[in-house]
Amino acid sequence: MESVQATKQRFGIIGNDPNLNRVIEKAIRVAPTDISVLVTGESGVGKESIPKIIHSLSHRKHGKYIAVNCGAIPEGTIDSELFGHEKGAFTGATSTRNGYFEVADGGTIFLDEVGELPLPTQVRLLRVLETGEFLKVGSSKNQKTDVRIVAATNINMAENISKGKFREDLYYRLSTIEINIPPLRERAEDIHLIFRKFASDFAQKYKMPTIRLDQQATDLLLKYHWGGNIRQLRNIAEQISVLEKDRTISYQTLRNYLKDVGSNLPAVIETKKKEGDFSNERELLYKVLFDMQRDLNDVKKLTLELIKTGNNTKVQEEHSNIINKMHSDTKNSEDSLADLVDQDFETPIENIKVLGISENQPEQYNQKSDSSNNYAYAEDIEEEENLSIQEKELELIKKSLEKYHGKRKDAAEELGISERTLYRKIKQYNL
């Protein structure tokens, strides 16, 4: 049995990746048999090399080897191409024609892009695999053929079967042995080696010095996604060999040839915070203030209920959801503020006081006292709350205007409000 290394040298296969070596070893082992083989893998990985290896190492090596691209033959003529036709079978059939299965008798047929075969042709192919017989188009006479079939595809066969585009019984006949070729991006150690081989070949072909990559360009070559696999790598090597005067290729030069480099390389995300960018923190602070305002409104509601009813237990039962929610929101607000304090920046709002309610305060509201006094206390809370928010708003506006020397547009941008709103606030506070 021929070794993997000897087979690679014989067929010009470049690379030492273990997965590639296993693929070739599998092809070598299956070659002496007549088992049907399905070669799978992405477009451009070199699937056409495997059928050649299988044929050349089989007992059919002296027979014909015919490669057929099933996707390139029109649906109306593919039956005639594969199985032949009789004279007068259809318009334009002026003479009898032998198909590939008749011509390749005793040899190997490679059906590339087998997933593109139309369903009627799939039925004919299945019959050949099961019985070794076929019918020419326009003939009623069965003909025998002894052909080994190696097929290849880059589509998801299971998906095509589920959609009814490919026969499941034919798939199992074709894929007695399935050989999957890994994409180029999974053979990182082979990429530069293959590129150098292509560069050398094109230098000889066009009679010019061989191009070489500097270290940064080599790193880019290895990180690239290579959606077109070896075919794309060969294309890039040829373009650079022909177009570049400088035979040492830099990172930027190579990048110019990798048009979709941005979508195929890992993104480098800038995480450093810009100085003076307080937009996220300001939004968080505003949220805390609005949550506080909502909680205080709930407190006023509870206070009024207590004043009217004087029944603390009943109020707690009826408004238990509000009370629990207030405690939860207060904790979240305090945690948010604590996170802000830990940040490495200067916050534009200082000394924010979170107004909380202690557990014993509801008892104070329930004490025997004049109801009007309690109602006045609720008003004081509202007045204090409004005053606190206005003071902080005024302080923010003053600081922003001072920072930008009275330029309303820049100040409004930092505050996260429109210039028109800022102008209205300036008039409101007589600034």
Q: In this predicted structure, what is the pLDDT of residue 378?
A: 44
Place of tokens 């798939």: 171
Q: Are residues 158 and 223 in the same domain?
A: no
Both tokens assigned to 277: 């960018």
Number of domains in the chain: 3
DSSP E strand stretches across 206-328: 212-213, 248-249
Q: What is the pTM of this model?
A: 0.60
DSSP H or E segment with residue 66: strand 65-69
21 with 134, same domain: the answer is: yes
**pLDDT computed for residue 339 by the predictor:** 52
Asked whether 136 and 84 are in contact (CB, 8 A), the reply is yes
Helix ranges restricted to H, 84-228: 100-103, 119-131, 157-162, 168-174, 188-206, 215-223
- Asked if 395 contacts 365 with a C-beta cutoff of 8 angstroms, the reply is no
CA–CA dist 83, 137 (Å, integer): 7
Q: Please say which residue of 182, 208, 237 terminates a domain.
A: 182
Q: Do the domain assignments include residue 160?
A: yes
**Phi/psi at 225 (5° precision):** -75, -35
Q: How many CB atoms lie within 10 A of CB 254?
A: 23
The separation between the first and the last C-alpha atoms of the chain, rounded to the nearest angstrom, is 94
Q: How far apart are CA 236 and CA 216, in angstroms?
A: 17
CATH number of the domain residue 241 falls in? 1.10.8.60
Same domain, 175 and 232: no
Share of the chain above pLDDT 70, in %: 73
Bridge partners (DSSP) of residue 109 are 66, 149
d(CA 406, CA 8): 76
Q: What is the total residue count of the chain? A: 431
Is 377's pLDDT higher than 50?
A: no
What is the Cα–Cα distance from 372 to 365, expressed in whole angstroms?
Answer: 12
Side chain identity at residue 325, one-letter code: K
Q: How many Å apart are CA 288 and CA 203, to the nearest integer?
A: 68
Residues 84 and 137 in one domain: yes
Is 66 in the same domain as 128? yes
Residues 245, 318: one domain? no
pLDDT tens per residue, range 141-178: 999 999 999 999 999 999 999 999 999 999 999 999 99
Q: CA–CA separation, 19 vs 183, rounded Å?
A: 10
Q: Quick check: helix, strand or coil at residue 166? A: coil
> Same domain for 136 and 150?
yes
Q: Is 163 inside any structural domain? A: yes
Same domain, 286 and 374: yes
Domain that holds residue 419: 279-428
Note whether 69 and 29 are same-domain residues: yes
Is 151 part of any domain?
Answer: yes
- Please say whether the dihedral angle defined by the alpha carbons of residues 217, 222, 228 and 233, taken in this order, is positive or negative: positive
Last residue of a domain, one of 264, 288, 315: 264
Task: Please indicate, yes or no, if residue 270 is contained in any of the structural domains.
Answer: no
Question: Mean per-residue pLDDT for 361-367?
Answer: 43
% pLDDT > 90, the chain? 57
Q: What are phi and psi of 135, to 5 degrees?
A: -120, 135
> For residue range 3-35, what is the model confidence (pLDDT) as tens digits?
999 999 999 999 999 999 999 999 999 999 999
Is residue 280 over pLDDT 90? no
Q: Between 64 and 400, where is the model more confident?
A: 64
Cα distances from 414 to residues 140, 218, 349, 407, in angstroms, run: 85, 45, 12, 11
Q: What are phi and psi of 175, to 5 degrees?
A: -100, 40
Please identify, among 155, 182, 209, the residue that sits at the C-terminal boundary of a domain: 182
Output the domain CATH number for residue 20: 3.40.50.300
Is 194 found in the same domain as 171? Answer: no
Tell me, yes or no, whether 57 and 151 share the same domain.
Answer: yes
Evaluate if residue 74 carries a pLDDT over 80.
yes
The string of pLDDT tens digits covering residues 246-266 is 999 999 999 999 976 444 544
Confidence of residue 326 (pLDDT cuts 50, 70, 90): low
Whether 149 is covered by a domain: the verdict is yes
Q: Look at residue 17 in the predicted model and tell me its pLDDT.
A: 95
In a domain, 134, yes or no: yes
Average pLDDT (48-69) is 96
Span 219-229, mean pLDDT?
94
Whether 18 is covered by a domain: the verdict is: yes
Within-domain flag for 369: yes
Average pLDDT over residues 74-98: 91
Please tell me the predicted confidence (pLDDT) of residue 426.
Answer: 83
pLDDT, position 267: 40
d(CA 233, CA 236): 5
CB 348 within 8 A of CB 392: no
Are 223 and 164 found together in one domain? no
pLDDT band for 365, please (50, 70, 90 cuts).
Answer: very low
